[in-house]
Amino acid sequence: MRRVVITGLGTISPVGNTINEFWNNIVNGKSGAGPITKFDASKYKTRFACEVKNFHPEIYFEKKEQKKYDLFTYYAVAASDEAIKDSGLNFGTMSLEERAAVGVIWSSGNGGIGTFEDQVREYYAGDGTPRFSPYFIPRMIVDIAAGVISIRHRLHGPNYCPVSACASSNTAVINAFDTIRMGKADIVIAGGSEAAITAASAGGFSAAQTLSKRNDEPEKASRPFDKDRDGFVIGEGGGALIMEELEHAKKRGAKIYAEVVGGGMAADAYHLTGTAPDGIGAELGIKAALKDAGIEASAIDYINAHATSTPVGDTKELAGIHKVFGNSRVAISSTKSMTGHLLGAAGAVESIVCVLAVKHDIIPATINVDAIDEEIPAELNIVYGKSLNSKVNYALNNSFGFGGHTATSIFKKYTE
């Protein structure tokens, strides 16, 4: 098996539209939550979200091109463009054979849900005559962002979109890792994007009783592990990682952020939207990732938990973690307390957090924790309040999705 490293990062997020801005705000515990501006939420039980701010699609697309894409594709292109630039790669100078070894594995849980809503709304507001945009279908389908990235850079390697709800982009990272180490590509642009702060999406999550209703204090609403948490805060954005075969990266003198060493996937096999009470999915996914990496649980220094701030989900994930790690005191935090829950893009953005934690030896804190839920085992080391300066040789990223999907990736400090 070939070794796989991270050579470029990019993000569009509720707490920053560049990697530097994003990481600075994560380390300093800044919340990205605020009132919803993307639609009239005045009649909704939840009237806030973690929106992307100051995003300008004209930076990435000419005006005539913008109508072809949904917002989730805008975010995909923006994040991947930054990651490519950060990596130092120049696809324009590559031969066809070289570009055939560059893949794009890009996820979304909802795809162009905003486009879907707009087109259906316009249809039913009319006289029944079918007047749909010729771009309706390509704007909407979840795989299109992967295709657009490949077209933009003329990349002919493996190209697809794994979908596993909110585990989607962590699944993409694991798939990219497998693709490269098995010799099916030399480079993969991996990640995910989501733009699901829409009337129907927010209404659906609200009906499922999953969203926080802390309308008076939106910046304090996402509070994983806190005894008074009442639901997650929906977010949007995208995250991109340039994943590259080690020798290929070394040959071109690339900077290396970290190494990818393990990936594990499993299923709760329990409920449409709920988490198994014993945390079996988390337990099995983590064990699979550790086995894949060839390390013991004691090697992990930091866990970026999926922990969305729902009353049930957080404790059940920690039950699975406790089964694997016992009293090891591994540091655990949830950066969703700042970004909100980016749904299908969450796994990629949180993979970036893990990579930067390994690179800089900083463990981000969980913000908004006033008192730890009494159901959480006291042996678990929940990091809250302020970020920690601490050695991080291995970081583990958990992601879970409706349907019981689980995905766990492991990142290691790079050494020769």
By annotation, the residues acting in catalysis are 166, 306, 341
Quote the tokens at residue 94.
């590559």
Which of 267, 304, 262 lies closest to 283 in space, CA to CA?
Answer: 267
Cα atoms in the 13 Å half-sphere on the side-chain side of 143: 6
CA contacts within 13 A on the Cβ side of 302? 33
The residue type at 88: G
Instruction: State the sign of the Cα–Cα–Cα–Cα dihedral 357, 362, 363, 364.
Output: negative
Amino acid present at 2 = R
Q: How many CB atoms lie within 10 A of CB 127?
A: 6
What single string gives the DSSP state of each residue in 94-138? S-HHHHTTEEEEEE-SS-SHHHHHHHHHHHHHTTS-----TTHHH
Record the tokens describing residue 257, joined without a space: 């952020």
3 state DSSP class of 407? strand
Using left for φ > 0, alpha for ψ between -120 and 50, and beta otherwise, residue 203 falls in alpha
Tokens of residue 30, six digits? 């800044």
Strand order in the sheet with 258-267: 159-160, 102-107, 187-194, 237-245, 4-12, 258-267, 405-412, 394-401, 302-304, 331-333, 381-382
